[in-house]
Structure 1
């Protein structure tokens, strides 16, 4: 199978460029690990262009960008090289799977497959014929009659009507300060209604920012909304956008976040209906109104 390095043979490789920049700066991998907080094992995999040893493609790009900043290299160009090598490796693996010949030992002969299909059809047809004969012989009514005469059912009037369950109170709305926590390297810009920048930087994994009290109609712009954990007080809000898809001027007010939370919450089931009351004359159930939902 072609490796990820071989898939980009003849092209510039991110690992080779980063290693050359590190050696030109007179730094060791230990120095880079201390500057980037990336483990030396992952840095060695990056220099060897062995991105399969990293946790995921997202981590591969993020670690390579951090490495590039530490040695003064062009992090945008390095990130593009890493993505190209990852895509080339995926294409190479797919082509090798497509070109691999099928194992004849694992493919059943056509005659055997037809024989199995015919046997299955015969079994299904035989079961259907037996069931139709069994129902026509009258066994089903006899069983039903013996069951109905064995134990007399209690009168409907003897069964007490069960009380309807109490209504479930609606959960309290989420409140508290709005905060953003980065789960990976992500650039963020937050402005208010007047266009004033409240916050703008490339956040590192684990870094947290809380919106100031009184911020007027704050909105966020970022290219990786799935790498931000947004909370309103103690409540986590669903992602602000699709993975790796830029969002622009998305509201960060408490009202907008509560609306996003309500839009993604599962629907509230309808309340249970009260059991039907029995008619004293005929024993037939009489219609009873359903209890009103909570908050109606």
Structure 2
């Protein structure tokens, strides 16, 4: 049974062409061409772009593009079906993990709410401190408390003990606590004023550079692949998602290949370029220069 890889490789070898020569013709990177011949679909970009690769490769060899595309669809059907199933399994796993995390969060929230409700509904137990019991003053033999002895003018007649005048103890004089000397802080002189803050003048803007260059901006509105060659530099290939924007700089010109001509918005030095084609159309050798 004829396969896509065998068809392309045999036709290329019959014509004595190398993969490097085919890459120069089609603007497709060499490792992508090799992956097509080896039917290594895992090393290729999305299916919609690989279709464009197959058509370009077949056209460069003078083969029937529709036949080559049909061989590609037959050879890659199992791979892309399996990839789609794996993607669906990943989505299901992510959704299940999200639901599990949501359930745990809900349980935690319910516990917190329930705890708050119980805290406010149950009667609060107020902690009552035991009353402070002051120790009673010891009684003397005549039944008077110690406080009576400490009075400033005790009565000698009330005391059953005879005390000689020499032994009489004068009542204690109240101790006067020395008041600490506080040195008042003198306020700062009124003449001392803060120097005003001078406004900062903005830095002068840099003059526009004298070096003129071509700035290429490509913004993807749909999924597309592009190949950009700046001046005499090697071409660069990029797969752009919707909303993605890339920028290149060159001195003289650009040479573009668009995998989806209507899926990009292109500006050169701020000026809108195009349109270049219809949705899904592959357009090559678009030359942009000042």
TM-score when normalising by structure 2: 0.36
Structure ID, larger Rg:
2
